[in-house]
Structure 1
Amino acid sequence: PDIIRVKQGDIVRIYATNVETTPDATHGFSICEYNINASLEPGETATIEFVADKPGVYAFYCSEFCSPLHLEMAGWLIVEPT
């Protein structure tokens, strides 16, 4: 999704899957402010779990240069204050 919206204090669980089949098509998933940076080899799924304890708007994006569409692999995490 382009936007992930949660409440402050929520436990967030994201399943990120690299659906590529070519061996050199590594993807990543990163949210810097939450110290999240996962690298996913082709066919690999990562479970990313954290507590959304900081209200705000944070970018998430593919952290591995993967293709000409790399810059489009991004979205926003919105943590609404309680």
Structure 2
Amino acid sequence: MKTTAGIVVGFVLSLMLAFAMLAPAGAQGERELHAVNINYEGNNVWTPGTYVVRKGEKVRFKLFNRVKADPNVHGFAIDEFNVKVDVYRDKPETVEFTADKAGIFRIWCHLHPAHLAGQLVVLEK
């Protein structure tokens, strides 16, 4: 029961943060997002789990791997935007792309598919 409550609280907080990120983007239609890979109750996850942007925005993800256990590398992939990068522990990576299609897209670890996935929500303008 305690685990379920923790997951629900984490999910709600992720959604709140995701919708808070919908504040107007910079003048150039760019959005910078941070994703941190952590171990939460034995599961490796990218957090927050949900990111929200608008169609047409240039998206810049700054990626941080904070998982202390081996392996020391985790993947970050969004197939529909041709994003696939290996993120080593304590070696941040940056990935950029234009969110040119609306929808909900899976964020996942292409190196360890069993790890928990997140999502990128791209809203129409």
Counterpart among 56, 76, 82 of residue 119 in structure 2: 76
Judging changes above 3 Å, is the alpha-carbon distance between structure 1 residues 2 and 23 closer, same or farther for their aligned structure 2 residues? Answer: closer
Map 1:1-82 → 2, pairs under 5 A: 1-21=48-68, 24-65=71-112, 70-72=114-116, 74-82=117-125
From the CA coordinates, give the structure whose radius of gyration is larger: 2
Which has the larger share of strand?
1
Judging changes above 3 Å, is the alpha-carbon distance between structure 1 residues 9 and 30 closer, same or farther for their aligned structure 2 residues? Answer: same
* SS of equivalent to 1:13: strand
Give the total of aligned pairs.
78
Q: CA deviation at 1:41?
A: 1.8
Q: List gaps (5 residues or longer) in structure 1.
A: none
TM (norm. structure 2) is 0.56
Relative contact order, higher structure (CA 8 A, sep 6+): 1
Q: List gaps (5 residues or longer) in structure 2.
A: 1-47
What value does the CA root-mean-square deviation take over the aligned residues?
1.8
* SS of equivalent to 2:76: strand
Contact 1:20 1:43 in 2 (8 A): no
CA offsets, 1:10-38, max 9 Å, x none?
A: 11111111124566321110000000000
TM (norm. structure 1) is 0.82
* Distance in 2 (alpha carbons) for counterparts of 1:80 and 1:28: 25
